[in-house]
């Protein structure tokens, strides 16, 4: 059985349909004091998959722990987590004395509570293997959205340039470009604060070109906005954005539009008005009969 959560119910139902599993939505009540009461279906099978993306994660993480423990109390012997967006993966070291290494803490927490964890395009940097970040070996599964993003772009655009805004985006840009048969280039980014970003474009001729900025995650949108402005300055005919995880906090979308971005597309990893690329098929293919 697949158990979804209210804010991610549509994606949970689509995944359950694609995987041929029954789907129920966990009832979540938030008390005035901020605590949560969860109610799961009282009769659970031996294998239960929880489906919840972990954007804006702090309340969701606690609720996931409640749900996983309760699923076991109700008879589930095996509990799998499908979290298309996996939180806290970027802080993989202490950059200053005393800083929490959030990736390690959250990774261990998930490994202790779940038999298998499935995610999409996790933002791993110095740690290259998800099985290190979530220490449950091959039961930590990192899927790629590149094939579905490539199919999506190939069905809409003719010979755009795919541009990654920073060196970290290179694997995503190159994978999508290779699958779609498009040209790829990568810019350089200097970040001096949460919203302070400078972008230096590569030497590629952009005049008159359709450019798609590609990244794994857009948070404030500042990275992509600065890249878009540079592309417009260099004569790009149109600039679009595609990301796996569209967090788009605050006024990120307006910020991108103001920077000259035309279309913004994201997968449905995080529920957002820009969702255009469903992940149900990718996720369903990774579920096993025992999940």
User: Between residues 12 and 259, which has the closer beta carbon with respect to ligand R5P?
Assistant: 259
Instruction: Report the C-alpha gap between 97 and 93 in whole angstroms.
Output: 10
Alpha helices by DSSP H, 74-164? 102-113, 130-133, 146-156
Applying CB under 6 A, among 149, 197, 227, 277 the residue interacting with ligand R5P is 197
- CA-wise closest residue to 142 among 114, 112, 122, 172: 122
The answer to whether residue 244 forms part of the interface with ligand R5P (CB under 6 A) is: no
How far are the Cα atoms of 48, 140, 291 from residue 69, in angstroms, in the given order?
Answer: 12, 19, 16
215 lies in the binding site for ligand R5P (CB under 6 A): yes
Residues 6+ apart with CB under 8 A from 17: 23, 280
Asked if 220 interacts with ligand R5P (CB under 6 A), we say: yes
Determine the interface stretch with ligand R5P among 97-105, 154-162, 219-227, 279-287 (rule: CB under 6 A): 219-227
Binding to ligand R5P in span 108-167, by CB under 6 A: 123, 165-166
Piece of the chain touching ligand R5P by CB under 6 A; list 94-102, 114-122, 178-186, 211-219:
211-219
Q: Is 266 in the site for ligand R5P (CB under 6 A)?
A: no
Asked whether position 55 contacts ligand R5P by CB under 6 A, the answer is no
Query: What distance separates the 2 farthest-apart alpha carbons in the chain?
Result: 61
Residues of this chain that interact with ligand R5P (CB under 6 A) are 123, 165-166, 168-169, 197, 215-223
């Amino acid at each position: 059985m697949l158990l979804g959560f209210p804010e991610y119910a549509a994606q949970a139902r689509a995944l359950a349909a694609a995987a041929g599993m029954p789907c129920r939505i966990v009832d979540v009540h938030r008390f005035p004091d901020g605590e949560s009461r969860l109610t799961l279906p009282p009769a659970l099978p031996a294998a239960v998959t929880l489906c919840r993306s972990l954007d804006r994660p702090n309340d969701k993480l606690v609720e996931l722990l409640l749900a996983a423990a309760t699923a076991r109390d109700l008879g589930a012997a095996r509990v799998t987590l499908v979290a298309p967006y996996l939180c806290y993966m970027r802080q993989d070291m202490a950059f200053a004395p005393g800083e929490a290494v959030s990736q390690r803490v959250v990774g261990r927490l998930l490994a202790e509570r779940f038999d298998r964890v499935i995610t999409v395009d996790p933002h791993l940097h110095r740690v290259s293997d998800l099985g290190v970040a979530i220490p449950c070996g091959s039961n930590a599964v990192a899927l790629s959205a590149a094939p579905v993003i490539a199919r999506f772009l190939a069905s809409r655009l003719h010979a755009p340039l795919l541009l990654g805004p920073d060196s970290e985006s290179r694997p995503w840009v190159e994978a999508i470009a290779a699958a779609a048969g498009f040209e790829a280039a990568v810019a350089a980014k200097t970040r001096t604060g949460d919203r302070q970003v400078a972008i230096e474009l590569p030497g590629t001729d952009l005049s008159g070109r359709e450019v798609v900025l590609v990244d794994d995650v857009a948070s404030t949108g500042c990275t992509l906005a600065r890249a878009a402005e540079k592309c417009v300055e260099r004569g790009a005919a149109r600039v679009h954005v595609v990301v796996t995880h569209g967090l788009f906090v605050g006024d990120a979308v307006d910020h991108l539009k103001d920077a000259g971005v035309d279309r913004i597309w994201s997968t449905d990893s995080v529920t957002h008005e820009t969702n255009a690329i469903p992940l149900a098929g990718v996720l369903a293919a990774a579920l096993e009969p025992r999940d």
